[in-house]
Amino acid sequence: MLLFTLLTFSLAINGIYTENVLTTEVFEIEINPDMFNWTFEGIRGQYVYQPSLKDAPDLPKWINYIYSHKHNSGFLYGVPPNKMGHVNLDVVALNRKTYETRKHILPIHITEKLKPAKYEVQLKIDNLNVDDMFDLERMDRLKDVFRKKLWKDSDDDLYVTFLASAIELGARLPVNPTEGEGVVLRIGSRAPLSNELIELQEEVKPLWKVPSCPRDFKRTTVERYFRDAGFNLDWCAFRLLEDNSSAMQHSRANIENHSNVNTDKLIQDHWETLYIDEVPERSYKHEFLFTILVPMFIMTLLALILSLILCFHNEGMNDPMSEEYFANIFHLCTDSDSVKDEPQEEQNETLHNNFNNFETIQKATNSLRNYSTPRDFICMSPESTHMSYTNSPTNTLNKGHHCRPSPPPYVRPKYKPEF
């Protein structure tokens, strides 16, 4: 104790003031231009602050920092762990107007609270932010609701044991940006819970099934007390916690684990580094196989099914006209080869006869073009230049007589003048 007094006195002489905080109680430390011997000139956002643990890149986990545009100041807040010690913070300030930087050492000493709270009341306020709760008048109005209406025995030692933004705890941002993000806090005391609070909890118990109540929900008997004081409560988050309850013990254990600081580290200002071997690893083998193999299996299965459908469908198709046409079309090639094998005199005679009968062939061809049905066939005999036509090729098809479909009639396109 004497050593701590001497340390505090020496820091005061050097112009460094120590901030005393109590365990299990929320503290707030304001960072303003006066801390750096600057004067606020009325320019919004002129000064920027960056606090961190001394000789470390970040703050301890039990200390939070926010900048409030309403107060034009930064705030350090949190709940100290249940271990006494001393912490030094480095606060670096930047003047955006002159780009001047200054550094301030902020000592924080943790003292054990002599009479910690045994009972707590958890509240969620929808219409406020965390920096709004640093207003002493607003905080006194909230405490007066309990000290004068709901928890009269807690008049002597009522204090805030927990404070956090609802967004940090998993809530969503409001649709309207002008509305508050929401605040979750706990008020504790050593006084036993009153009958009014117990009855209020029984009243709102059916709402615990709902994760969050609407912001305009007012169906409680004590709603008027909070509305008159300027607080809109989410009654789905209202809870009463006792010292021997598992919820309160779990809450304190989370705060201690969240701090992750012991006495030796606080005194020595030691920053616990993280080694590369301690970084958790994750294998993506299963995700890779699932991403590659499953689509390939589905694609292969679909291709197999489509192939089977096409194969069975083609086997069931039967077109006798096409089969007969393709079966006899090769006779034209064989007949033409047989003509080439004939002597030159017979070939000349055949060509001469064909030339003499050209007009006859042309007339027959013109007459065949008048048939509109696709089953009209032209039948020719290679032994003679005689050409005949028929609607049924099966009557005239034999060796040496071949039929093929008649070509479509030729129609001269009409001339359309362009203007």
Residue ranges of alpha helices (H) inside 260-381 are 263-268, 285-315, 320-328, 330-340, 344-356, 358-368
Q: Which of 138, 114, 118 is CA-nearest to residue 128?
A: 138
When pLDDT is averaged across residues 362-377 and rounded to a whole number, the result is 49
Say whether pLDDT at 337 is over 50: yes
**For residue 319, is it within any domain?**
no
72 in the Ramachandran plot: left (φ > 0), alpha (ψ -120 to 50) or beta? left
Predicted local confidence at residue 373, as pLDDT: 44
Predicted local confidence at residue 250, as pLDDT: 55
**CATH number of the domain encompassing residue 273:** 2.60.40.10
Predicted local confidence at residue 23, as pLDDT: 92
Q: How many domains does the chain have?
A: 3
Find the range with the poorest average confidence among 123-132, 302-311, 410-419. Answer: 410-419
Say whether pLDDT at 58 is over 70: yes
More confident of the two residues 328 and 294: 294
Say whether pLDDT at 346 is over 80: no
Q: Which of 149, 128, 150 is CA-nearest to residue 139?
A: 128
When pLDDT is averaged across residues 291-308 and rounded to a whole number, the result is 92
Q: Are residues 110 and 258 in the same domain?
A: yes
Among 131-135, 216-220, 374-378, top mean pLDDT goes to 131-135
The per-residue pLDDT for range 185-242, each reduced to its tens digit, is 999 999 999 999 999 999 999 888 887 788 777 778 999 999 999 999 999 999 999 8
Q: Which of 242, 266, 294 is the endpoint of a domain?
A: 242
Beta-bridge partner residues of 95: 47, 100
pTM of this structure: 0.58
Contacts of 297 (CB under 8 A, 6+ apart): none
More confident of the two residues 393 and 314: 314
**For residue 98, is it within any domain?**
yes
Contacts of 335 (CB under 8 A, 6+ apart): 382, 400, 402
- Domain range for residue 365? 331-405
**For residue 264, is it within any domain?**
yes
- Cα distances from 336 to residues 200, 332, 387, 403, 404, in angstroms, run 110, 6, 17, 15, 16
Q: Are residues 66 and 34 in the same domain?
A: yes
When pLDDT is averaged across residues 146-170 and rounded to a whole number, the result is 92
Q: Are residues 152 and 209 in the same domain?
A: yes
Q: Which of 255, 281, 307 is the endpoint of a domain?
A: 281
Q: Are residues 178 and 130 in the same domain?
A: yes
User: What is the pLDDT confidence band of residue 370, given thresholds at 50, 70 and 90?
Assistant: low
Predicted local confidence at residue 324, as pLDDT: 73
**For residue 320, is it within any domain?**
no
Q: Are residues 238 and 275 in the same domain?
A: no
Instruction: Quote the mean pLDDT of the chain.
Output: 77
Q: Are residues 64 and 34 in the same domain?
A: yes
Beta-bridge partner residues of 94: 48, 101
Q: What percent of the chain has pLDDT over 90?
A: 41
Cα angle 7, 12, 17; round to 5: 95
Q: Are residues 123 and 238 in the same domain?
A: yes
Q: Determine the Cα–Cα distance for residues 221 and 76; give it in Å rounded to an integer.
A: 36
Predicted local confidence at residue 219, as pLDDT: 77
Structure tokens at 227: 């509305």
Q: Are residues 73 and 138 in the same domain?
A: no
User: What is the pLDDT confidence band of residue 263, given thresholds at 50, 70 and 90?
Assistant: very low
- Cα distances from 11 to residues 5, 102, 107, 407, in angstroms, run 10, 19, 9, 113
**For residue 312, is it within any domain?**
no
Q: Determine the Cα–Cα distance for residues 387 and 367; give it in Å rounded to an integer.
A: 12
**For residue 302, is it within any domain?**
no
Q: What percent of the chain has pLDDT over 70?
A: 65
- Cα distances from 289 to residues 304, 332, 345, in angstroms, run 22, 60, 79
User: What is the pLDDT confidence band of residue 341, given thresholds at 50, 70 and 90?
Assistant: low
Say whether pLDDT at 389 is over 80: no
Q: Determine the Cα–Cα distance for residues 232 and 224; give it in Å rounded to an integer.
A: 10
Q: Which of 222, 242, 262 is the endpoint of a domain?
A: 242
More confident of the two residues 200 and 413: 200
Say whether pLDDT at 251 is over 50: yes
Q: Are residues 171 and 227 in the same domain?
A: yes
- In terms of C-beta distances under 8 Å and separation of at least 24 residues, what long-range contacts does 14-19 make, across chains too? 16/105, 16/107, 17/107, 18/107, 18/108, 18/109, 19/106, 19/107, 19/108, 19/109
Predicted local confidence at residue 209, as pLDDT: 86
**For residue 418, is it within any domain?**
no
User: What is the pLDDT confidence band of residue 174, given thresholds at 50, 70 and 90?
Assistant: confident
Predicted local confidence at residue 190, as pLDDT: 93
User: What is the pLDDT confidence band of residue 88, given thresholds at 50, 70 and 90?
Assistant: very high
Q: Are residues 155 and 88 in the same domain?
A: no
Burial 323-359 (b: 16+ CB within 10 A, else e): eeeeebeeeeeebeeeeeeeeeeeeeebeeeeeeeee
User: What is the pLDDT confidence band of residue 89, given thresholds at 50, 70 and 90?
Assistant: very high
Q: Are residues 124 and 230 in the same domain?
A: yes
Q: Are residues 80 and 143 in the same domain?
A: no
The per-residue pLDDT for range 305-318, each reduced to its tens digit, is 998 888 876 655 66
**For residue 413, is it within any domain?**
no
Find the range with the poorest average confidence among 46-50, 81-85, 138-142. Answer: 81-85
